[in-house]
Structure 1
Amino acid sequence: MSEATDPYEHTPTTLVYDIFAERSGQLIAQYTRLSDTAADGVERERWWQKALEVRDAKRAVPAHDREQLLAHISSWAADIEALKEGE
């Protein structure tokens, strides 16, 4: 990712990781809420699996891999916004 497309270009990677972790927590919380309030077991399981996918993705990204951190931050922020818009 070039500096021109890095919204955190002046932010140390350690802090970018903190943002990454916070964003994953926000998305997992949204998916967990949707799972807890689901109308049926199929929907509950679907949302729960999405929460687990985010958890697994968070665990798989090395803390020093800035490109992956930024990609996930962007993707998860878009997912959070889409969920908010769908409420």
Structure 2
Amino acid sequence: MYDPYENTPTATVYDVFADTATRLAGLFVHLSDTAPTAEEREEWWRKVMALRDAKRAVPARDREQLMVHIERWRGELARLEGDPA
């Protein structure tokens, strides 16, 4: 696996992981708060809880899993924010 954080301590990679999770959770909460229906609000809230659970499940020293989640969550952020990247 390509490591974009090759010269970065794992503790710092964890910080990026945690920050990315926080940004995505914040977006999910916003989408839940502004959803037009109760069903949509509940769906976004389920995503908040699933993200929380995923974040808790990844060990802070598991560099590979940290990077997998960072990439996945950044992709989700880009998609939801309309960024073509």
The question of a shared fold, defined as TM-score above 0.5 by the shorter chain, is answered with yes
Aligned residues: 83
The aligned counterpart of 1:85 is 82
Instruction: Please give the TM-score of this superposition, normalised by the length of structure 1.
Output: 0.93
Deviation at 1:19, TM superposition (A): 0.2
Gaps of 5+ in 1: none
Q: Output the CA distance in 1 between the equivalents of 2:24 and 2:14.
A: 15
Deviation at 1:39, TM superposition (A): 0.2
After superposing on structure 2, the runs of 4+ consecutive aligned residues of structure 1 that deviate more than 3 Å are none
Q: How does 1:16-55 map to 2 (within 5 A)?
A: 16-55=13-52
Deviates more, 1:77-86 or 1:33-42: 77-86
SS in 2 for 1:20: helix
Out of 3, 11, 14, the residue aligned to residue 11 of structure 2 is 14
Q: Output the CA distance in 2 between the equivalents of 1:15 and 1:47.
A: 29
Instruction: Please give the TM-score of this superposition, normalised by the length of structure 2.
Output: 0.95
Share of identical aligned residues, percent? 52
Q: Output the CA distance in 1 between the equivalents of 2:53 and 2:24.
A: 13
Q: Output the CA distance in 1 between the equivalents of 2:42 and 2:29.
A: 10
